[in-house]
Amino acid sequence: MTQTARPAPALVLASTSRYRRELLQRLRLDFTVAAPEVDETPGVGEAPAALALRLARAKAQAVAARQPQALVIGSDQVADLAGEPLGKPGTHERAVRQLQRMSGQTVVFHTAAALACQARGLLQTDLASVRVRFRALQADEIERYLRAETPYDCAGSAKSEGLGIALLEAIDSDDPTALVGLPLIRVARLLRAAGLRLP
């Protein structure tokens, strides 16, 4: 009697970020996308790394509650400037202020990944922390950059995968996709541990 292989569980990315969607496509897995609808407000005194981990877990769990058989990936990124969390600026004015504050500074970008499956009682997390050293930035450089790339949906107001790389002195990371928004080395590790076969 031959046994038929069990189909792989559905894979869901709990994010509406096009950056995370494009990154996950690199693993050549079939997946769908669902909005997690999670409040991203930091807790009082919450450390940036702890915030990123909490939000990644919350996003994965929120979607897993709606799709209990699926494997759900949640992720969040928080920029850490001397212990202070910096989120997405949302506006030009806030982006200017963020870049002015980060000028000449080292900022740590904490990017957390979580994998959840409610039916299996699965919840695993991992964290990639990327140290980014910004150049000393002139006001006109900041203005030109923001007008050119409008990175208002990016934590820290700069896209290292685009023109934002010109604002930087150095990047120190063991998971290069983490800075873009999804730490693929860690995500692949979580998926393999959950029994998913990567191509």
Residue 104 belongs to a domain: yes
Which CATH number belongs to the domain containing residue 182 in this structure? 3.90.950.10
Quote the domain boundaries for residue 93.
Answer: 11-193
Residue 70 belongs to a domain: yes
Total domains present in the chain:
1
Residue 43 belongs to a domain: yes
| pTM over the 0.75 mark | yes
pLDDT tens, the chain, 199 aa long: 445 555 667 999 999 999 999 999 999 999 999 999 999 888 888 999 999 999 999 999 999 999 999 999 999 999 999 999 988 899 999 999 999 999 999 999 999 999 999 999 999 999 999 999 999 999 999 999 999 999 998 888 999 989 999 999 999 999 999 999 999 999 999 999 999 988 7
One-letter amino acid at 59 equals K
Q: Supply the residues annotated as catalytic.
A: 76
Residue 6 belongs to a domain: no
Residue 198 belongs to a domain: no
